[in-house]
């Protein structure tokens, strides 16, 4: 289990609770800083022993595809000043230092170490950035550290989320002049009709359409802006960086979303079509149910009416699933809500004035695929119907309980009643000839790849249990 910076600090460092809290606030930004700098980031804190250093966090940038090795395992390790001399110097009060760090048997890489200070100016941690970067990208390292030291106010969710291959980075100084733009940012602006290089341009140029950035220069507040045009769509994250309370740089993260937006629109259309299909299937099943009700009124024998009623309930159970899918987005259904509703519908349908059944349902929300939901609805229909129609036959009152639980990747559904029980026909129900139970076993084994069992409920009645593995999303 991965430990947080705060947990490591409390266990192994000499920092106070206030100092740990400062680092804790910056922890969600560490991955963003590593991605922005395009270098590996390490966070060191002072250990409990004199001169000891503790590695509290380690992040790899977006483009680092190197071997993992003991990368994650090294977090929480304690090292000496001799092993990390540059870090030790900065921790002792030095300003930022640049050096070569040996990373693997004589192979060195450039490293820059920054002091991370608390509100009183005391160094409480050292953040290092390690890895080769082009000369024109070194400004990104300083920018990444500044983003950590003074996070932008506002607390906008997603402002500091990690970078992706679709993100372009632009840096703007306090006057509004663009001082850095990577290739992706240039490509995004070129796609929007901009042909001239961005570096050296000012955000006050009307050709750039960067009004949100101009606003951030004044307000010093972070922002996320959605820009939608007929030919292009993008999201822009604007992060102001402060020094001594004054803004000295803006970080613009531009994400090209034209293709994403097109796919989102296609998905919305498909979802609408699917919902309409479920709605029409539900209506068609309701029509079939109406025909069965008409047929029930025409048959003379009770046995035929009972058979039609069972078929009707099965159709209504499937209809309930499609009705639920037609009212909600996605192809997953809350099985607990469906089971609770089905229990109420069947109880009202199958109990007369001479039988009082108390029903109870127990189960937290559990979302199933549409295929699973149809199978579960049919199983519940058969088991609840079996209890109401056969278990309570000849009785004036009873209790019917449906329970749904999920654990260890399996779903368990239990239907228990206080009815007459299984009688002498066999404790496991094998000798009872009943179409409904045969349907349940078939669905359990063939459709849900699970198991079904039925037996006595103590002190009286019957309990049926279905267990099946959940489909992983």
User: Do 118 and 137 reside in the same domain of the chain?
Assistant: yes
- What span, in angstroms and rounded, lies between the C-alpha atoms of 386 and 112? 73
User: Do 316 and 426 reside in the same domain of the chain?
Assistant: no
Q: Given this model, what pLDDT does residue 55 score?
A: 94
User: Do 385 and 454 reside in the same domain of the chain?
Assistant: yes
- What span, in angstroms and rounded, lies between the C-alpha atoms of 185 and 180? 10
E strand segments, 65-106: 78-79, 97-104
Judged against a pLDDT cut of 80, whether residue 207 lies above it is answered with no
Judged against a pLDDT cut of 60, whether residue 390 lies above it is answered with yes
User: Do 125 and 138 reside in the same domain of the chain?
Assistant: yes
Q: Given this model, what pLDDT does residue 85 score?
A: 93
Residues 24-48: what's their mean pLDDT?
Answer: 93
Q: Which residue range forms the structural domain that includes residue 61?
A: 5-149
The domain spanning residue 69 has which CATH number?
A: 3.30.450.280
- What span, in angstroms and rounded, lies between the C-alpha atoms of 445 and 453? 11
User: Do 403 and 309 reside in the same domain of the chain?
Assistant: no
Using the Cα atoms of residue 199, residue 202, residue 208 and residue 214 in order, give the sign of their dihedral: positive
Q: Is residue 156 situated within a structural domain?
A: no
The domain spanning residue 250 has which CATH number?
A: 3.30.450.20
Q: pTM score, two decimals?
A: 0.57
Q: Is residue 379 situated within a structural domain?
A: yes
**How many domains is the chain built from?**
4
For residue 372, what pLDDT band results from cuts at 50, 70 and 90?
confident
User: Do 335 and 472 reside in the same domain of the chain?
Assistant: yes
C-alpha distances (whole Å) from 29 to each of 125, 127, 346 are 15, 12, 54
Q: Given this model, what pLDDT does residue 42 score?
A: 95
**Taking the chain, what is the end-to-end CA distance rounded to the nearest angstrom?**
23
Q: Given this model, what pLDDT does residue 376 score?
A: 86
Using the Cα atoms of residue 398, residue 342, residue 318 and residue 450 in order, give the sign of their dihedral: negative
Q: Is residue 159 situated within a structural domain?
A: no
* Partner residues linked to 362 by β-bridges: 403
* Partner residues linked to 36 by β-bridges: none
User: Do 34 and 81 reside in the same domain of the chain?
Assistant: yes
pLDDT in tens, 192-204: 666 778 888 888 8
User: Do 182 and 226 reside in the same domain of the chain?
Assistant: yes
User: Do 17 and 86 reside in the same domain of the chain?
Assistant: yes
pLDDT in tens, 223-263: 888 877 655 678 889 999 988 888 999 999 988 765 555 56
């Amino acid at each position: 289990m991965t430990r947080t910076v705060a947990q490591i600090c409390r266990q192994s460092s000499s920092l106070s609770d206030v100092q740990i809290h400062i680092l804790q606030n910056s922890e969600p930004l560490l991955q963003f800083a590593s991605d922005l700098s395009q270098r590996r980031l390490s966070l060191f804190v002072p250990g409990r022993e004199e001169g000891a250093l503790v590695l509290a966090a380690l992040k790899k940038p977006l483009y680092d595809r190197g071997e993992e090795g003991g990368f994650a395992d090294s977090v929480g390790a304690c090292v000496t000043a001799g092993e990390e001399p540059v870090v030790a110097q900065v921790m002792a009060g030095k300003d930022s230092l640049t050096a070569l760090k040996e990373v693997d048997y004589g192979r060195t890489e450039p490293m820059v170490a920054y002091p991370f200070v608390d509100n009183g100016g005391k160094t409480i941690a050292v953040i290092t950035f390690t890895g080769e970067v082009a000369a024109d990208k070194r400004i990104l390292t300083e920018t990444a550290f500044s983003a950590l030291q003074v996070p932008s106010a506002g607390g906008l969710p997603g402002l500091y989320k990690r970078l992706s291959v679709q993100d372009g980075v632009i840096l703007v100084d306090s006057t509004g002049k663009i001082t850095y733009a990577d290739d992706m940012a240039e490509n995004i602006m070129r796609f929007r009709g901009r042909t001239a290089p961005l570096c050296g341009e000012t955000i006050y140029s009307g050709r750039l359409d960067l009004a949100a950035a101009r606003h951030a220069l004044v307000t010093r507040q972070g922002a996320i802006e959605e820009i939608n045009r007929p030919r292009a769509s993008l999201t822009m994250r604007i992060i102001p960086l402060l020094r001594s309370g004054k803004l000295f740089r803006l970080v613009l993260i531009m994400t090209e979303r034209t293709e994403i937006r097109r796919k989102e629109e296609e998905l919305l259309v498909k979802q609408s079509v699917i919902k309409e299909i479920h709605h029409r299937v539900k209506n068609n099943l309701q029509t079939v149910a109406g025909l069965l009700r008409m047929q029930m009124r025409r048959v003379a024998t009770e046995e035929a009416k009972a058979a039609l009623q069972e078929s009707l309930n099965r159709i209504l159970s499937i209809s309930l699933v499609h009705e639920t899918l037609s009212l909600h987005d996605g192809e997953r259904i809350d099985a607990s809500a469906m089971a609770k509703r089905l229990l109420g519908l069947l109880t009202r349908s199958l109990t007369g004035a001479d039988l009082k059944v108390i029903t109870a349902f127990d189960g937290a929300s559990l979302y199933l695929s549409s295929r699973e939901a149809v199978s579960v609805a049919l199983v519940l229909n058969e088991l609840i119907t079996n209890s109401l129609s056969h278990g309570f036959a000849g009785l004036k009152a009873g209790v019917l309980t449906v329970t749904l639980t999920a654990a260890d990747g399996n779903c368990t559904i239990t239907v228990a009643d206080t009815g007459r029980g299984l009688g002498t026909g066999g404790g496991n129900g094998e000798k009872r000839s009943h179409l409904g139970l045969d349907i349940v076993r078939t669905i359990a084994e063939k459709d849900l790849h699970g198991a079904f069992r039925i037996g006595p409920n103590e002190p009286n009645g019957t309990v049926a249990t279905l267990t099946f593995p959940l489909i992983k999303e």
